[in-house]
Copies of this chain bind each other. A is one copy, B any other.
Amino acid sequence: MQPTTVMPPMDELRKVFREAGLSLTHQRVVLYRAVLEMRSHPSPEAIYERVRDEIPSISLGTVYKNIRAFMDAGLVREVSPHHGTLRLESNLEEHHHLVCTRCKAIVDLEESDLEPVRLRRELPGGFRVDRYSVEFRGLCAACSAKPDLS
Binding site for B on A (CB under 8 A): 2-3, 5, 35-36, 38-45, 47, 67, 76-80, 82-93, 97-98, 100-101, 105-110, 112-115, 117-121, 123-141, 144
A79-B85 Cα distance, complex, nearest whole Å: 10
Q: Closest CB of chain B to A28's CB: distance in Å?
A: 15
A82-B79 Cα distance, complex, nearest whole Å: 8
A128 surroundings in chain B (CB, below 8 A): 138-139, 144
Contact B114 A117 (CB under 8 A): yes
Residue of B nearest to A47 (CB): B88
Residue of B nearest to A70 (CB): B88
A90-B88 Cα distance, complex, nearest whole Å: 27
Which 4 A-B residue pairings sit nearest by Cβ, starting from the closest? Answer: A126-B141, A79-B87, A129-B138, A41-B106
A136 surroundings in chain B (CB, below 8 A): 123, 127, 129, 131-132
A112-B84 Cα distance, complex, nearest whole Å: 31
Contact A123 B141 (CB under 8 A): no
Contact A5 B90 (CB under 8 A): yes
29 pairs, CB–CB < 8 Å, chain A vs chain B: A2-B108, A3-B93, A41-B88, A41-B106, A42-B87, A42-B88, A43-B86, A45-B85, A78-B89, A79-B87, A79-B89, A80-B82, A82-B82, A82-B83, A98-B123, A98-B124, A112-B120, A113-B120, A114-B118, A123-B136, A128-B139, A128-B144, A129-B136, A129-B137, A129-B138, A130-B137, A131-B137, A133-B137, A134-B135
